[in-house]
Amino acid sequence: MAELTTLASPLDVGGVRIRNRVFLAPMSGITDEPFRRRAHAHGAGLVVSEMVASGELAKGRAGCDLRIRHSGLPVHMVQLAGREAAHMGEGARIAAGEGADIIDINMGCPAKKVTGGYAGSALMRDLDHALSLIEAVVGAVSVPVTVKMRLGWDESALNAPMLARRAEQAGVKMVTVHGRTRCQFYQGKADWRAIARVKDAVSIPVVANGDVGSPEEAATILEQSGADAVMIGRAHYGAPWVAGGIATAVGGAKTQGIPQTPQELIDYVVLHYEDMLSLYGAESGLRQARKHLGWYLDRHAPDVCAEQRKRILTSFEPGDVVAELRRVFVDGAQSTSLRSAA
């Protein structure tokens, strides 16, 4: 797997140095500050904020500040979504003013609530309009601008190479391609070979995304796509260390901080939980954290009884949640083996 050695090397994105080529994908409601900090600490080369609606950001809507604020990491990358050029430009200016080193434009989200507003992957249905948004963002900031897209809207319109080429001409410094169309959502297998057509169309770095969760899959997607880097999303559910594990493994180093024992795992999960409560406040934090707790259970304690799982995911008392987690991961029978996705 000679291709894997490439992943350990730095990558230049419009003058910003990225330490390696295995990235954490932006995921709405998931890649908040506590999650990004963990992924970075484990060795991910680049971590990206949750998608931020440019219109809401431009209008100063509450909560947007948490998504764009600088977390103190070496490279702060903020992803914006929207359909109005003025809002995209203003959102980019605000994010750059908060310290964003790179602005990413979302043209790949398949969610109906996003595409229904003619944002996300819906923009691939009108490349002229998509380019107007790109030009607005590039013209608004001095930091590098990147774009994340899909192969196209559906199988009849696989226009990612054309969008990437026009984006590069407009000043974009890197593109990421998820190997599915919007209409596929996350069904079937990502078409890694189709990403190669985007790589052939541009001279800027191309990042391949979709269905990667192991060093073997990372090697294969690089071979089939010819991409310069890999971006990993859903494989991080319940395992914020996946990208870092791949990057450090191919670089010959040991991944930092992956829990190896039941006690280490529960300490890790509890600290993540407490960090989320601290960020969002107890009431909102309890709700925000439940999906993460569910994924930790799914991955590391799949046989937990329904009653215990319900108590963990519905309790409004943080102390009770932590106590129940300790019973599952430390005292429970299923705590005997831990699995690392990397």
Q: What is the mean pLDDT of each run of 10 residues along the chain (342 residues)?
A: 77 98 96 97 96 94 88 96 97 96 96 90 96 98 98 95 98 98 93 98 98 94 96 98 92 79 95 97 95 97 94 96 94 51 42
Over residues 241-298, the pLDDT tens digits come to 999 999 988 877 777 789 999 999 999 999 999 999 999 999 999 999 999 999 999 9
- Nearest alpha carbon to residue 29 among 323, 294, 301: 294
CA–CA separation, 21 and 27 (whole Å):
18
Over residues 110-136, the pLDDT tens digits come to 999 998 888 999 999 999 999 999 999
Please say whether the beta carbons of 110 and 121 come within 8 A: yes
What is the SS3 assignment for 107? strand
Residue 1: per-residue pLDDT: 47
What is the SS3 assignment for 136? helix
Amino acid identity, residue 116?
G
Q: pTM of the full predicted structure?
A: 0.94
Contacts of 166-172 with CB under 8 Å at 24 or more apart are 166/127, 166/131, 166/134, 167/131, 167/134, 168/202, 168/203, 168/204, 170/131, 170/134, 170/135, 170/138, 171/134, 171/135, 171/138, 171/145, 172/105, 172/134, 172/138, 172/145, 172/146, 172/147, 172/204
Please say whether the beta carbons of 127 and 162 come within 8 A: yes
Residue 62: per-residue pLDDT: 78
CA–CA separation, 332 and 319 (whole Å):
18
Give the angle 166-103-278 at the CA atoms, nearest 5°: 150
- Catalytic residue numbers read 109
- Nearest alpha carbon to residue 70 among 173, 143, 171, 178: 143
Residue 332: per-residue pLDDT: 66
Q: At what angle do helices 127-140 and 160-169 cross, to 10 degrees?
A: 30
Residue 334: per-residue pLDDT: 46
The residue ranges of DSSP E strands in 54-162, in sequence order, are 77-81, 102-107, 145-150
